Structures are given as C-alpha cells and as structure tokens.
Amino acid sequence: MELEDVRKHVLICNGSTCLKNGGKEVAQAIRAEIKNQAIDDIHTTLTRCNGRCIDACTVITYPDGIWYKKMTPQWGAQLIRCLKKGESLSVSVAYSYDGERFTGWEAMADQEIVSSITPAEMQEEKVDLSSSDKHK
Ligand code: FES
C-alpha cells in the first residue's frame, strides 16, 4: 500500500482489555466494511494497548485525531461509512484533537463539533461478520 493514497488511518486496539471487550470482532467488522464497500483509501492497523482501557474497545482515526470508545462491530462498520462521507461517529467519540490538545466528548457536544448519527440510527445497522478479516 502506498501511503500517498491513504485518506484515513484507523488504529484498532488489540490490547488485552480491548480484546476482552470485542476488539477482534470490531476489527473484523471494520475491515469487512472496507472490503464490502471496496474502499481503497482507508488503512487499518492493529495496535497494542493505547492506555485507555476504561474505554475498551478503543479505535482511533487519523488525521482526524478522534478517539472512539466502547466500540462494537456495528459501530465499527458505521464508522467506516461515516469516514467515507467525511463524518465522525458521534455516538462513540471519546476525545477529539482541536489542533492543540484533545477535548472530551461532553465539551465537543456543547460546541456541536461532531456529527449527529443517533443511537436509534445505529440500532438499525446490521454487520455481516462472515466477511474476510484480512488487512486491506
Ligand atoms: S487494551 Fe485497548 S486501550 Fe488498553
């Protein structure tokens, strides 16, 4: 893969706490959605612990600098659909980088920085986990 072609980098935590909280399934769902939509400009990387086990399973996107918490396979697939449209997955944002430092979700919600996909919309999403979990 040539990095010049990459628009988004998705870091998926594969540390032990995140794995205990569905990290493997989240990674499979994210990669399946990328494959199912034939997206060629989103790169994924599995990481070790990112130091936010309290938020497990964590997913981080760059260059956005957004840290997602409590990710599920359904939210992982939705995240890819959001990234494709240039949006974030607001229901799961834990922190976002403002150019100087990271800001927590509550402050961002007050400032309406993030997009507004609702939990109800999320519940309607279905993810096919039978697809390949190979790296893109
Ligand atoms: S194991 Fe994922 S943040 Fe610690």
88-119 confidence digits (pLDDT tens): 998 889 999 989 999 887 666 555 444 444 44
Quote the CATH superfamily of domain 3-122.
Glutaredoxin (3.40.30.10)
Residue 96 phi/psi, 5-degree rounding, is -140, 145
Task: Identify the pLDDT of residue 91.
Answer: 84
* Cα–Cα distance, 20 to 16 (Å, whole number): 6
Atom number in ligand 1 closest to CA 56: 2
- Rounded to the nearest angstrom, the distance between the alpha carbon of 115 and the centre of ligand 1 is 25
Atom number in ligand 1 closest to CA 13: 2
Strand extents, DSSP E, the chain: 8-13, 42-47, 59-62, 66-68, 93-97, 102-104
Ligand 1, pocket residues at CB < 6 Å: 13, 15-18, 49-53, 56, 58
Residue 17 phi/psi, 5-degree rounding, is -70, -40
The share of the chain scoring above pLDDT 90, in percent, equals: 70
